[in-house]
Amino acid sequence: MKVALKSAVLTALLVGIVFSSGWAKAGEVLAGPVSARVLSVIDGDTLDVVARVWLGQDVRIRVRIEGVDAPEIRGRCPGEKALAIAAKAFVTDQTSGRSINLTAIRYGKYAGRIVAEVVLDDGSSLGELLVI
């Protein structure tokens, strides 16, 4: 728990440094593709990934899947919870053991999280698979 908190604080600080240094601009979009490996599925629309950003340089970050707003696991409605669990299981099944690419990458509204199109190794869009 302490490691996760330290990691979140460090990520927030790094995001602040990047924005204040002029390295990244609000509204900036990185076209990608950036290769990544899924560490865990948080819910039906968010992944925890390690992305290879440069030779020997990996970044661990949360990725919100572009165009998807899945039901919340912490929702009050039993029906919403059931749909949220099903969405998470689907995303877990689709990403398990597969490499992904991130495209159209931009900062999300929460520090330390990005929004991106997630493309599976067969070229399909995870977001499109979720909405079909």
Question: Could you state, in order of their start, the residue ranges of all structural domains in the chain?
Answer: 25-131
Q: Which residue has the higher pLDDT, 78 or 11?
A: 78
* pLDDT tens digits for range 108-123: 887 678 999 999 999 9
Rounded Cα gap, residues 60 and 7, in angstroms: 9
The two tokens of residue 117 are 């199109």
- Say what the pLDDT of residue 23 is: 53
CATH of 25-131, one of 3.40.50.300, 2.40.50.90, 3.30.70.1070, 2.40.50.140: 2.40.50.90
**In what helix (H) or strand (E) does residue 2 lie, and over which residues does it extend?**
helix 2-21
- Name which of 68, 58, 11, 60 is nearest 39 in CA terms: 60
pLDDT category of residue 28 using cuts at 50, 70 and 90? confident
* pLDDT tens digits for range 33-74: 999 999 999 999 999 999 999 999 999 999 999 999 999 988
> For residues 111 and 11, is the Cβ–Cβ distance under 8 A?
yes
- Name which of 110, 117, 101 is nearest 29 in CA terms: 117
